[in-house]
Amino acid sequence: MPLQGLKSGLAIRGMQSGRLSGNALASVQGGYKGGMHNQLPDRDKMLNPLNLSGDKKPALYGLADFYNITGGNTTNLNDIANTGNYLSSNGSTVSRPIPYANVLGGKTILKYDGSAAAMFMTTAVAGRPAFTIMCMVKLNGTASLSIIDTNSITMGAILVSTPANSASACQIRSRLYSATSTGTTYTSDVGPTTSSSVANTPAEFQDYMLLTCKFRLNQPTGVGSEQDMYINGRRHQILSGADAFVPANSNISALSLGIGNNPTTQNSLALGFEMGMTLLLPYWLEGAEQQKIENYFRWYYNKSF
């Protein structure tokens, strides 16, 4: 009987001890795996845009790695998301961006290196209440640089650019138009920039950046437009104008974007800035989903952004 009691005690206490030891080691194991996941893709925390479907399917998705080329310049980017839309230069060789391979994380980027360099959507997107634009871009300190804009300035037109003032040429400004010359403008931080020299600009704005801009003419909770601008996952502040304007219609209609030089808008230069990815979503991207998609591009380009 004493021996039987000893065996029973060892079995029970041994199991309990093992279970407690396992619980104690769980956080260590989780921390170890968490550290590994900083280098390996954690699928639960990322979202590939190609996996979006239905109303969330991209309206445009262009990666510089999937380009067609003529005479050393890019003519168009493949429609990898089967949207029926893609980016095309639609012009002579001088208007085509130049591809450079193995630039960032082994991936290709396009350099818009000329006053005419541009790419345009082949088909305008039907009217939607909201849109989100995400891109991976690097500036070069040029003022009045047109990064992304619509083909005309009307209600709901979009312009993402650098300021006309050379003292803040490495800033990014995002604008949603209510009419020809009014609307709301968001801007990135100025930092210690005091001249047109890139050397005076914060390091974040000299490097490749993950840019997310969101636009809608009507907020879900009431009348009034809204926009947000994020650089490397951080939200930036409104610069001028009312935080919202009351639009005459609820949809941003017939949205057609141009990248680089677009002479129909206020900014007309595309001198040496670089872009690796452009994603247009036909809805307002909420925070959790935004973070997952941004994490995917952090993994894709092997850069923390």
Tell me, yes or no, whether 54 and 194 share the same domain: yes
Residues with Cβ within 8 Å of residue 178, at least 6 apart in sequence: 155, 184, 225, 245, 247
What is the mean pLDDT of the segment spanning 162-179?
76
Q: Is residue 72 part of a domain?
A: yes
pLDDT reading at 305 higher than 70: yes
- Would you call 109 helix, strand, or coil by DSSP? strand
What is the mean pLDDT of the segment spanning 160-183?
75
The number of distinct structural domains making up the chain is: 2
Q: Is residue 106 part of a domain?
A: yes
Tell me, yes or no, whether 172 and 23 share the same domain: no
Tell me, yes or no, whether 140 and 278 share the same domain: yes
Per DSSP, helices labelled H in the chain are 2-37, 287-300
Per-residue pLDDT of 180-230, as tens digits, reads: 566 777 777 654 444 445 666 677 777 899 999 999 888 877 777 788 889
Q: Is residue 24 part of a domain?
A: yes
- Would you call 41 helix, strand, or coil by DSSP? coil
pLDDT reading at 260 higher than 50: yes
Q: What is the pLDDT of residue 42?
A: 59
CATH code assigned at 126? 2.60.120.200
- For residue 223, what are the domain limits? 45-300
- pLDDT confidence tier of residue 167, bands split at 50, 70 and 90: low
Q: What is the pLDDT of residue 69?
A: 72
What is the mean pLDDT of the segment spanning 81-87?
90
Tell me, yes or no, whether 65 and 23 share the same domain: no
What is the mean pLDDT of the segment spanning 119-131?
86
Q: Is residue 1 part of a domain?
A: yes
Tell me, yes or no, whether 199 and 65 share the same domain: yes
Per-residue pLDDT of 6-64, as tens digits, reads: 445 545 444 444 444 444 444 433 443 344 334 445 557 899 999 999 999 999 999 99
- pLDDT confidence tier of residue 156, bands split at 50, 70 and 90: confident
CA 159 vs CA 6, 152, 176, 228: distances in Å: 79, 10, 7, 13
Tell me, yes or no, whether 71 and 109 share the same domain: yes
Tell me, yes or no, whether 23 and 84 share the same domain: no
Tell me, yes or no, whether 29 and 119 share the same domain: no
Q: Is residue 305 part of a domain?
A: no
Tell me, yes or no, whether 14 and 83 share the same domain: no
CB-side neighbour CA atoms (13 Å) of 58: 24
Average of per-residue pLDDT values in the chain: 75
What is the mean pLDDT of the segment spanning 264-291?
78
Tell me, yes or no, whether 53 and 17 share the same domain: no
- pLDDT confidence tier of residue 68, bands split at 50, 70 and 90: confident
Tell me, yes or no, whether 32 and 73 share the same domain: no
Q: Is residue 115 part of a domain?
A: yes
Tell me, yes or no, whether 74 and 165 share the same domain: yes
Residues with Cβ within 8 Å of residue 210, at least 6 apart in sequence: 134, 135, 136, 231, 232, 233, 294, 297, 298, 305
Q: Is residue 296 part of a domain?
A: yes
**What number of other Cβ atoms are within 10 A of residue 209's Cβ?**
19
* Cα–Cα dist 282/167, whole Å: 34
* Cα–Cα dist 224/191, whole Å: 31
Q: Is residue 109 part of a domain?
A: yes
